[in-house]
Amino acid sequence: MSEKASAGSGDIDIKCIGVIGAGQMGSGIAHVCALAGYDVRLSDVGEEQLERALETIARNMDRQIGHGRISEADKSVALARITTSTDFAKFADCDMVIESATENEEIKREILKSLCPHLKPEAIICSNTSSISITRLAAVTDRPERFMGMHFMNPVPVMKLVELIRGIATEEPTFQAIRDLAAKLGKTSATSEDFPAFIVNRILLPMINEAVYTLYEGVGSVDSIDTAMKLGANHPMGPLELADFIGLDTCLAVMHVLYDGLADSKYRPCPLLVKYVEAGWLVRKAGRGFYDYSGDTPVPTR
């Protein structure tokens, strides 16, 4: 599959997409791009992370097969489209690259600076950041006019939304090209201005932070808070369960972006959230957050 998309100085035929970061989000982005017919170059710092990502992608495709959404043949063809590397030089033939590293601005800036010399001049760069200024990230590249935010939701193969965010220098052809790409990936786009945390996390993370405050102040237990929001507000997951799913370090990082960027005390991260992150209770690494996942059934930690 290929899409003619005007970007910058001329037309660009998007056939090959690079993805930086093979974690939960990056592997999901690689998954949907490969299924949509694009060649994918998936990169991370180590071979172990890349092998784990390929296993995750295959496992998630098996779930889709089980639900009748794709066939075994679809899976085989898609997996064959994904190649992995620890070297940015492998992105030389990419028509666009999606950065999906950890939600840390300095790390992203260093990645983007290292990436640019390996790209062809017409290649587009997108960041999957969930909160960081697109304009600031674009400024460290050699192509701010071909840079924008493309924020996928987690889990990427399941969630239909992609937030599209223009930086101050993003040109209209770049935006149109990425909006067309999102549609080809089977996603619905919501356009956000370049404000801290954009739309989804500007609304979602303060709700989660308030749930942590509700726990911190002893208003309710973990189980009571999550049960109340699932049954009282018809949320599919309770806010503390959702925080664990997102990753408490990511939740804290977004709250810091909101607090620092908007200078409003209502975005102050709850001290209990800070304490959990300082303890290393990040769920993904420790198997523990607001719930302990070491047994067969998650158990509230408070």
Condensed to tens digits (0 to 9), the pLDDT of residues 278-295 reads: 999 988 767 999 999 998
Q: Within this chain, do residues 173 and 219 fall inside the same structural domain, yes or no?
A: no
Whether pLDDT at 97 is above 70: yes
51 labelled catalytic:
no
In angstroms, the CA 28 to CA 57 distance is 7
pLDDT digits (tens, 9 = 90+) for 194-249: 999 999 999 999 999 999 999 999 999 999 999 999 999 999 999 999 999 999 99
Q: Within this chain, do residues 185 and 274 fall inside the same structural domain, yes or no?
A: no
pLDDT digits (tens, 9 = 90+) for 245-255: 999 999 999 99
- Give the containing element (helix H, strand E) for 59: helix 47-66
CATH number, domain containing residue 251: 1.10.1040.10
pLDDT tier, 8 (very low <50, low <70, confident <90, very high otherwise):
very low
Among residues 99, 145, 163, 171, which one is catalytic?
A: 163
163 labelled catalytic:
yes
Q: Within this chain, do residues 113 and 161 fall inside the same structural domain, yes or no?
A: yes
Among residues 27, 100, 189, 201, which one is catalytic?
A: 201
Mean pLDDT of 49-75: 97
Q: Within this chain, do residues 168 and 264 fall inside the same structural domain, yes or no?
A: no
DSSP 2: -
Q: Residue 21: CA atoms inside 13 Å, Cβ hemisphere, count?
A: 22
Closest CA to 152 of 164, 134, 167: 164
Write down the pLDDT at residue 61: 98
Q: Within this chain, do residues 52 and 163 fall inside the same structural domain, yes or no?
A: yes
76 labelled catalytic:
no
Q: Within this chain, do residues 134 and 51 fall inside the same structural domain, yes or no?
A: yes
Residue position matching structure tokens 């808070």: 225
In angstroms, the CA 270 to CA 206 distance is 10
Write down the pLDDT at residue 3: 40
Q: Within this chain, do residues 172 and 274 fall inside the same structural domain, yes or no?
A: no
CATH number, domain containing residue 165: 3.40.50.720
Q: Residue 223's domain spans which residues? A: 202-292
Q: Within this chain, do residues 63 and 188 fall inside the same structural domain, yes or no?
A: yes
Among residues 43, 60, 100, 130, which one is catalytic?
A: 130
Confirm whether 211 is domain-assigned: yes
9 labelled catalytic:
no
Write down the pLDDT at residue 281: 93
Q: Which two tokens stand for residue 5?
A: 């998309």
Q: State pTM to two decimals.
A: 0.89
